[in-house]
Amino acid sequence: MLTRAGTYVDRLWGLFVLAWVSFTLWTVLVFHWEPIGRLDRYCYEIAAWGASSEAWIAWMHRVTLLGDDRWLCVLCGVLGLYLIIIKRRPAAALWLFSSLWVGIWLTWMLKALCARPRPDGFVVSLTVPNYAFPSGHAFNGVFFYGMALWLLRRMGVRWCATGWALTVTSAIMVWIGISRVALGVHWASDVVGGALWAVLWGVVNVMWMERVGVLEGKWVRSLP
């Protein structure tokens, strides 16, 4: 007999395959299909035009911090304390922290493997040394905020199951992506790649968390 978690994980396999195919196909197209290159240059030109507004660039600087590794470390710590103290789910807190930082590390590895140069930045005060694809900020935003919403909803936090929660979370993800293009540090296709990679990594983690019973504490009880 299949358990509820087992049935749920089985349904997630379809989403995993879709996410894997989407990210792989997008990666191939980014490097080998010229129309995406033209779209990237078009978005870059629009972003360069918008950079003439100091207020817009200042706003984008603030928005992009929502996907910064250091800021997410703080948010992850706060959410982790909530999971440990209020929800009594230390295993979920540990898994969230570990999956976020393993994901960030894997993103760095993907950047090094793809070795795609960044666009020529037009914001003098902003210099980013590493490669462009996939966008780390886009990955951080989609993975962390999406996983946080799923975790809280899965544990019965009512407001996380509302349309407002989904709308606000989605808006944060989208604006983080826009900010990376607006600041001239990423091509638009880098942002899409980062988001697809985040969905793939998120599905993998949800599948394993459900399979090993992290939210029910089974994973911790099974440790020696």
Looking at residue 125, its pLDDT comes to 53
In a domain, 224, yes or no: no
Alpha carbon distance 220, 209 (integer Å): 12
Instruction: Please give the tally of structural domains in the chain.
Output: 1
Any residues with CB less than 8 A from the CB of 215 and at least 6 apart, and which?
Answer: 89, 91, 92, 151, 154, 155, 209
State the CATH number of the domain containing residue 155: 1.20.144
Q: Residue 142 is which amino acid?
A: V
- Of 187, 184, 62, 64, the residue nearest 124 (C-alpha): 184
Model confidence, pTM: 0.86
Q: What is the pLDDT of residue 1?
A: 37
Cα–Cα distance measured from residue 115 to residue 98, given in angstroms and rounded to the nearest whole number: 25
DSSP 144: I
Residue-by-residue pLDDT tens, the chain, 224 positions: 344 555 666 777 888 899 999 999 999 999 999 999 999 999 998 888 888 888 888 899 899 999 988 888 899 889 888 888 887 888 888 888 889 999 999 999 999 999 888 887 766 455 666 788 999 999 999 999 999 898 888 877 778 778 888 899 999 999 999 999 988 889 999 999 999 999 999 999 988 877 776 666 554 444 44
Q: Tokens for 60, please give them.
A: 């984008």
Tell me whether residue 223 is in a domain. no
How far, in Å, CA of 14 to CA of 116, rounded? 30
pLDDT at position 223 is 41
* Rounded CA separation 186/20 (Å): 22
Range(s) of the domain holding residue 132: 13-218
Specify if 100 maps to a domain.
yes
- Does some domain include residue 161? yes
Token duo for residue 106: 């894997």
Domain assignment of residue 26, yes or no: yes
Say if 214 falls within a structural domain: yes
CB 64 within 8 A of CB 136: no
**Residues 2-12, buried b or exposed e (16+ Cβ, 10 A)?**
eeebeeebeeb
Note the pLDDT of residue 224.
43
Task: Write down the pLDDT at residue 14.
Answer: 83
Q: What does the angle CA 26 – CA 27 – CA 29 come to, to the nearest 5 degrees?
A: 65
> For residue 132, what pLDDT is reported?
84
What 8-state DSSP symbol labels residue 82? Answer: I
- Residue 209, pLDDT score: 79
Q: Is 8 inside a domain boundary? A: no
115 vs 131: CA distance, rounded Å: 6
Joined tokens for residue 82: 């909530």
| Residue 203: inside a domain | yes
Contacts of 81 (CB under 8 A, 6+ apart): 93
